[in-house]
């Protein structure tokens, strides 16, 4: 039976690698048991944090730059449909082809068709969060096409049959000895005497990749920015592998989230200052590649852009949460997050870890998708992420907003345990006599405590508290009882105002 849809089509939630398959607390508990991971993370995040603070501190107008970045992104979100159409028209006018993908499945199908049309079974890749989000490598592999990562950290993750755990430093959870072991086991033709010296590791990767760059006929990239008024795209990177992929093959396919647009070329000025300082702690990116359409005899002769929604319009429809789409994937919030530093990125399940992942994944997929409702609780709400964010995304406020959505989603028309508990507390605390009566029950709490005078397990919603800490046994006497007794006694110490 066919159906006729009247009115606007509904929003389509994101799909692909955006889902936590396990509740964050249990995934985090498992990851916390990995002491090597915690050691690696502590070292890496504290190094990047220090570098970022140095280079942001030296700019007298850093706060104004952050304000400008935030204002530009807010303006982009307000004009997104218009800017996307302008971008499409300009890419097309300069010889590129624009494809629209509503979700991960559509994007993957489009990419597969484009690769097959070139008659190849291998492609080289520039590091890209969008292609990880849609699970492109796995999809291509299932259809007989090998996608080779060329970013060093992505290569380590790919050869190790692992998953990235950080937006910027995907192999942050591996130390150099572990990297050496992966290379020795998985890299074809590697020197069996390879040591874990960083330079030697980089040289091994370099010679492995060089052959791929020179033979690949198709490259796939993401994009840091798309410029609406010219159809220009931009990728920033540190190793030069991106530039090799963007210039050597005959065909270039770029997958870009629809939120990556900037209205004009001059807007890049703000973001090319904000991004490197916030991400790698550098004053500028070692490689900034910009290209517009195709030019005969210069770079790829065929160029495609896949514009990816995959839940971004879902996030845009959330008035409170839409500023999460301002994110420029610098990872500054991740590097300052005390929760991320201890659990690492795998605990979040989604491609996007840390504070930005804790809001972006549920906003794109909906709060009820898989275990994504547990992600907004993966924060102490300390606010360090907000302070560090170069585009001033108020992550703590959005976390609280999403926690509210999660509670509402589970309410099911009935009051939640928390509602009942707070109502009871309000009733109890609003009357002194009721409170006195309740305090008479305190000795029961002492019975629940063991010999060490600690309560180790509470029931119901309170169980979350005792999962990671004990509660001291209540005193044998309440403060109010003590006060009343002391003031009735003839030897009671006089209150200060009585002795003045």
Contacting residues toward ligand SF4, per CB under 6 A: 278, 327-333, 356, 388-391, 393
Task: Please state the φ and ψ torsions of residue 272, each to the nearest 5 degrees.
Answer: -75, -5
Q: Minimum CB separation from ligand SF4 for residue 103, in Å?
A: 22
| Minimum gap (Å) between residue 354 Cβ and ligand SF4 | 7
Q: Provide the minimum distance between the beta carbon of 390 and ligand SF4 in the complex, in angstroms, as a whole number.
A: 6
- What DSSP assignment string belongs to 106-125? HHHHHHHHHHHHTT-SEEEE
**Residue (69 or 373) nearer to ligand SF4, CB:** 69
Taking the least distance from each CB to ligand SF4, the nearer of 324 and 369 is 324
Instruction: Say how far apart CA 476 and CA 488 lie, in whole Å.
Output: 19
Q: How many CB atoms lie within 10 A of CB 183?
A: 22
* Residue in this structure with the two tokens 């997958």, named with its chain if needed: 255
Nearer residue to ligand SF4 within complex by CB, 300 or 354: 354
CB 118 within 8 A of CB 325: no
Residue closer to ligand SF4, measured from CB, 102 or 329: 329
Match 């410029």 to its residue by tokens.
227
DSSP letter (8 states) at residue 377: G
Identify which of residues 292 and 361 has a Cβ nearer to ligand SF4 in the complex.
361
Tell me if 372 sits within 8 A of 334, measured CB to CB: no
Q: Find the shortest distance in angstroms from Cβ 170 to ligand SF4.
A: 14
Question: Shortest distance, CB of residue 330 to ligand SF4, whole angstroms?
Answer: 4
Structure tokens that stand for 48 in this block: 């990047």
CA angle 274, 334, 31 (to 5 degrees): 160
Strands 218-221 and 251-257: parallel
Closest approach of ligand SF4 to the CB of residue 356, in Å = 4
Whose Cβ is closer to ligand SF4: residue 245's or residue 388's?
388
Nearest to 407 by CA among 397, 418, 398: 418
- Of 167, 175, 178, 132, nearest in space to 335 by CA: 167
Least separation, in Å, of the C-beta of 376 and ligand SF4?
A: 14
Nearer to ligand SF4, 68 or 179 (CB): 68
Say if residues 462 and 417 touch (Cβ distance below 8 Å).
no
């Amino acid at each position: 039976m066919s159906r006729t849809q009247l009115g606007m089509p509904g929003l389509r939630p994101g799909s692909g690698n955006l889902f936590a398959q396990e509740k964050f607390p249990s995934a985090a508990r498992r990851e916390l048991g990995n002491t090597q991971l915690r050691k690696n993370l502590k070292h890496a995040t504290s190094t990047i944090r220090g570098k970022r603070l140095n280079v942001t501190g030296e700019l007298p107008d850093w706060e104004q730059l952050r304000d400008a970045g935030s204002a530009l992104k807010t303006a982009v979100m307000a004009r997104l449909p218009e800017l996307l159409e302008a971008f499409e028209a300009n890419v097309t006018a300069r010889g590129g082809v624009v494809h629209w993908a509503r979700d991960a499945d559509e994007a993957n199908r489009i990419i597969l068709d484009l690769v097959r049309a070139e008659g190849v079974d291998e492609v080289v890749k520039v590091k890209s969060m969008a292609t990880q989000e849609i699970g492109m490598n796995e999809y291509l592999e299932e259809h007989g096409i090998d996608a080779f990562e060329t970013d060093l950290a992505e290569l380590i993750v790919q050869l190790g049959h692992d998953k990235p755990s950080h937006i910027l430093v995907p192999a942050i959870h591996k130390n150099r000895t572990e990297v050496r072991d992966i290379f020795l086991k998985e890299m074809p033709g590697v020197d069996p005497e390879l040591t874990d010296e960083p330079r030697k590791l980089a040289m091994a990767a370099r010679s492995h990749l060089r052959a791929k760059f020179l033979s690949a006929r198709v490259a796939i990239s993401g994009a840091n920015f798309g410029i609406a008024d010219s159809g220009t795209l931009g990728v920033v990177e540190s190793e030069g592998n991106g530039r090799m992929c963007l210039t050597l093959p005959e065909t270039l396919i770029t997958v870009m989230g629809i939120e990556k647009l900037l209205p004009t070329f001059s807007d890049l000025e703000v973001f090319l200052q904000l991004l490197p300082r916030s991400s790698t702690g550098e004053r500028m990116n070692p490689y900034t590649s910009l290209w517009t359409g195709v030019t005969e005899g210069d770079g790829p002769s065929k160029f495609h852009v896949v514009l990816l929604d995959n839940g971004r319009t879902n996030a845009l429809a959330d008035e409170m949460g839409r500023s999460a789409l301002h994110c420029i994937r610098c990872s500054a919030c991740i590097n300052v997050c005390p929760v991320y530093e201890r659990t690492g990125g795998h605990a979040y399940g989604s491609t996007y870890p840390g504070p930005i992942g804790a809001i972006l994944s549920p906003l794109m997929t909906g709060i009820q998708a898989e275990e994504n409702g547990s992600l907004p609780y993966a924060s102490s709400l300390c606010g360090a992420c907000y302070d560090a964010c170069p585009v001033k995304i108020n992550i703590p406020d959005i976390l609280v907003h999403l926690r509210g959505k999660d509670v509402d989603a589970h309410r099911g028309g009935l009051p939640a345990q928390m509602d009942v508990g707070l109502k009871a507390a309000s009733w109890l605390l609003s009357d002194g006599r009721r409170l006195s009566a309740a305090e008479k029950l305190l000795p029961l709490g002492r019975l629940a405590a063991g010999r060490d005078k600690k309560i180790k397990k509470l029931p119901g919603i309170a169980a979350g508290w005792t999962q990671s800490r004990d509660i001291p046994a209540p005193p044998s006497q309440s403060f109010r009882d003590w006060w009343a007794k002391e003031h009735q006694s003839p030897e009671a110490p006089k209150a200060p105002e009585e002795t003045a």
